[in-house]
């Protein structure tokens, strides 16, 4: 929303000065490029900052998921998507960072598998509708992406979401509240789905919520 407000403001100002097109594209590219270079920098060395193993919630429950096409949103270095590929899923990963996705391809090769990837900004993407058996999103919070995630699933497909919740602010007070899930928020978002698993975790250092839900 902040990006949208910034763009709207830039657009109106530019309209007044008669420089609409230039200002719009400068503002748009600015927001995208900042995120992209920040994440590319984080990923630029050989260390896998989020590790090479999938999140336990995915690994422990992979057998529940319908086999087929899986979409890993904000795939990063690929720990989750590559795991799904080793389990027989046909995986597509999207991320803003090409450095992250290059590491994901290397991780896939090291595990004797392959993935498809796409460098794109999820804030301005149009996901293919009714195309996936599984849509996964781990540790990336963009609330206005949830409707698209739902649309991207086939009927009977399942969504897997895990990210920090507001309890995490006890341990990381500088973490932005807008990036944390509110209590029962995932249950509310997927209230029209069949809830297969829902878990709230807090080990005194980290706190996050996880869900697997099935599209009717
Ligand atoms: C905390 S990491 C999580 C990575 C991965 N899901 C995992 O669990 O290992 C967040 C990811 O979101 C990606 N990201 C941030 N903003 C993005 C955007 N606007 N569009 C696409 N990806 C984005 C970053 O490049 C980064 O890989």
Q: What is the pLDDT of residues 82-119, one digit of tens each?
A: 999 999 999 999 999 999 999 999 999 999 999 999 99
Same domain, 24 and 116: no
Closest to 98 in 3D by CA, of 158, 146, 35, 149: 35
Same domain, 110 and 192: yes
Q: How far is the CA of 72 from the centre of ligand 1 (A)?
A: 10
> Where in the sequence is the domain holding 38, given as residue range(s)?
2-42
Same domain, 13 and 77: no
Q: How far is the CA of 76 from the centre of ligand 1 (A)?
A: 5
- The answer to whether residue 50 is domain-embedded is no
Query: What is the rounded CA–CA span in Å between residue 150 and residue 135?
Result: 8
Task: Answer whether residue 20 shows pLDDT above 60.
Answer: no
Give this prediction's pTM. 0.88
DSSP SS3 for 26 = helix
Same domain, 6 and 72: no
- The answer to whether residue 48 is domain-embedded is no
Query: What is the rounded CA–CA span in Å between residue 68 and residue 45?
Result: 32
Same domain, 77 and 101: yes
Residue among 95, 123, 145 to mutate when testing ligand 1 (max atoms within 8 A of CB): 95
* H or E stretch at 82: helix 79-86
Task: Answer whether residue 14 shows pLDDT above 80.
Answer: no
- The answer to whether residue 51 is domain-embedded is no
- The answer to whether residue 141 is domain-embedded is yes
The 132-138 sheet, strands edge to edge: 116-119, 90-95, 69-73, 132-138, 153-164, 207-214, 194-202
Q: How far is the CA of 14 from the centre of ligand 1 (A)?
A: 31
Closest to 122 in 3D by CA, of 146, 143, 138, 145: 145
Tell me the backbone φ, ψ of residue 88, rounded to 5 degrees.
100, 5
Give the rounded percent of residues in the chain with a pLDDT score beyond 90.
84
Residues 130-143 have a mean pLDDT of 98
Average pLDDT, the chain: 89
| pLDDT for the residue numbered 29 | 53
Task: Answer whether residue 80 shows pLDDT above 90.
Answer: yes
Pocket of ligand 1 (CB under 6 A): 35, 39, 50, 74-76, 79-80, 95-97, 100, 121-123, 138-140
């Amino acid at each position: 929303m902040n990006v949208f407000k910034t763009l709207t403001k830039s657009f109106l100002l530019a309209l007044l000065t008669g420089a609409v097109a230039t200002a719009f594209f400068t503002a748009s590219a600015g927001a995208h490029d900042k995120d992209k270079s920040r994440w590319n920098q984080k990923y630029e060395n050989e260390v896998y900052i989020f590790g090479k193993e999938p999140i336990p919630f995915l690994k422990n429950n992979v057998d529940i998921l319908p086999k087929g096409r899986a979409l890993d949103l904000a795939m990063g270095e690929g720990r989750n998507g590559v795991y799904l590929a080793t389990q027989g899923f046909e995986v597509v990963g999207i991320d803003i960072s090409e450095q992250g996705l290059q590491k994901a391809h290397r991780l896939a090769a090291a595990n004797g598998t392959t993935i498809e990837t796409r460098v794109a900004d999820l804030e301005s993407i149009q996901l293919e509708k009714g195309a996936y058996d599984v849509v996964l999103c781990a540790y990336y919070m963009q609330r206005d992406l949830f409707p698209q995630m739902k649309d991207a699933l086939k009927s009977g497909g399942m969504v897997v979401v895990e990210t920090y919740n507001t309890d995490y602010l006890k341990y990381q007070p500088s973490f932005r509240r807008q990036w944390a899930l509110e209590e029962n928020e995932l249950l509310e978002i997927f209230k029209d789905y069949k809830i297969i698993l829902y878990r709230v975790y807090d080990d005194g250092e980290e706190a996050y919520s996880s869900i697997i839900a099935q599209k009717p």
